[in-house]
Chains A and B, each alone.
Chain A
Amino acid sequence: MSEVRFGQAINRALADAMAADDSVVVFGEDIAAPGGPFGVTRGLLDRFGPDRVRDTPISEAAIVGAAVGAAMSGLKPVVEIMFMDFVTLSMDALVNQAAKARFMFGGQYALPMVVRLPHGGGINAGPQHSQCLEAWLAHVPGLKVVCPATVADAYALTRAAIADPDPVIVVENKSLYALKGELPEPLPSAAIGKADVARPGRDATIATYGAMRAVALDAAGLLAKDGIEADVIDLRSLQPWDEAAVLASLARTHRLVIVHEAVEAFGVGAEIAARMADIGFDELDGPIVRVGAPFMPVPFAKELEAHYRPDASRIAEAVRRTLA
Chain B
Amino acid sequence: MTAADSASPIDLLRTMRLIREAELRLAQLFADGEVPGFIHLSVGQEGVAAGVCTALGPADTLASNHRGHGHALAKGLDLERFFLEIMGKVEGMCKGRGGSMHVADAAVGMLGANGIVGAGLPIAVGSALAHQVKRNGAVAAVFFGDGALAEGAMHESFNLASIWRLPVLFVCENNGWSEFSPTSRQLAADPCALALSHRIEARSIDGNDVLAVHDVTRTLVAEIRSGGGPRFLECRTTRVRGHFEGDPQKYRDAADAARSDDDPIGRLERRLASEGVPAAEIKAAERDAVARVDAAVARARTGTAPAFGDALRDVYANTEVRP
Q: Which A residues have a C-beta under 8 Å from some C-beta of B?
A: 25, 51-52, 54, 56-57, 59, 61-62, 64-75, 77, 92-93, 96-97, 101-110, 141-142, 144, 164-166, 192-193, 240
Q: How many A-B residue pairs have CB under 8 A?
A: 156
> Which of A73, A77, A102, A106 makes the CB contact (< 8 A) with B61?
A73
Contacts of A103 in B (CB 8 A): 97, 311, 314-315
Instruction: Tell me whether B102 and A105 are in contact (CB under 8 A).
Output: yes
Query: How far does the alpha carbon of A62 sit from the alpha carbon of B134 in the complex, in Å?
Result: 20
| Contacts beyond the supplied A65-B121, A97-B114: 16 A-B pairs with Cβ under 8 Å | A61-B122, A69-B127, A69-B128, A72-B126, A73-B61, A73-B130, A74-B130, A103-B311, A105-B112, A106-B95, A106-B98, A108-B94, A108-B106, A164-B317, A166-B318, A193-B319
Max count, chain B CB within 10 A of own CB: residue among A25, A59, A64, A142: A59
Is B133's CB within 8 Å of the partner chain A? Answer: yes
If A68-B122, A104-B102 touch, whether A59 touches B159 (CB-CB below 8 Å) is yes
3 pairs of A and B residues whose beta carbons are closest in the complex: A65-B122, A69-B126, A66-B126
Decide if B314 touches A62 in the complex (CB within 8 Å).
no
- Chain A residue numbers with a CB within 8 Å of B311 are 103
Q: A62 touching B125 by the CB < 8 A rule?
A: yes
Knowing A66-B126, A69-B124, A105-B97, the reply to whether A57 touches B116 (Cβ < 8 A) is no
Q: Is the CB of B98 within 8 A of A69?
A: no
B94 with A105: CB separation less than 8 A: yes
Q: A51-B133, A62-B157 are in contact. Are A70 and B97 (CB under 8 A)?
A: no
> Per a CB cutoff under 8 Å, which of A77, A92, A108 touches B119?
A92
Task: Kindly state the separation between the CA atoms of A247 and B96 in the bound complex, as whole angstroms.
Answer: 37
Chain B residues positioned under 8 Å from A51 (CB to CB): 132-133
The chain A residue sitting closest to B129, CB to CB, is A70
Q: Does B285 contact A (CB under 8 A)?
A: no
Shortest Cβ distance from residue A27 to the other chain B in the assembled complex, whole angstroms: 8
Please tell me which one of the listed residues A73, A107, A240 contacts residue B319 in the complex, with CB atoms under 8 A apart. A240
Instruction: Show the binding face of B for A, using Cβ within 8 Å.
Output: 61, 63, 92-98, 102, 104-106, 111-112, 114-116, 119, 121-134, 140, 152-153, 156-157, 159-160, 163-164, 311, 314-319, 321
Given A105-B98, A108-B94; A69-B111 close (CB under 8 Å): yes
Residue of A nearest to B85 (CB): A106
Within 8 Å CB of B94, what residues of A? 104-106, 108
Q: Is B160 touching A56 in the complex (CB atoms < 8 A)? A: yes
Q: How far is the CB of B37 from chain A (nearest CB, A)?
A: 13
A/B interface sample: 27 pairs, CB < 8 A = A56-B160, A59-B159, A62-B122, A62-B157, A62-B159, A62-B160, A65-B123, A65-B126, A66-B126, A68-B126, A69-B125, A69-B127, A69-B129, A69-B130, A72-B126, A72-B127, A74-B134, A75-B130, A93-B123, A102-B314, A103-B97, A104-B94, A105-B102, A106-B98, A164-B318, A192-B319, A193-B319
Q: How far is the CB of B70 from chain A (nearest CB, A)?
A: 19
Set of chain B residues within 8 Å of A93, measured between Cβ atoms:
119, 122-123
Distance to closest chain B CB from A252 (angstroms): 24
Partner of A166, one of B63, B92, B124, B317: B317
CB-based contact A62/B156 at 8 Å = yes
Complex CA distance for A66 and B63, rounded to whole angstroms:
12
Chain A's nearest CB lies how many Å from the CB of B154? 10
Q: Is the CB of B97 within 8 A of A65?
A: no
Candidate in A51, A66, A75, A103 with the most chain B CB atoms within 10 angstroms: A66
Q: How far is the CA of A67 from the CA of B156 in the complex (A)?
A: 13
CB-CB under 8 A from A66, the residues of chain B are 122-123, 125-126, 129, 160
Cβ–Cβ contact B115 & A77, under 8 A: no
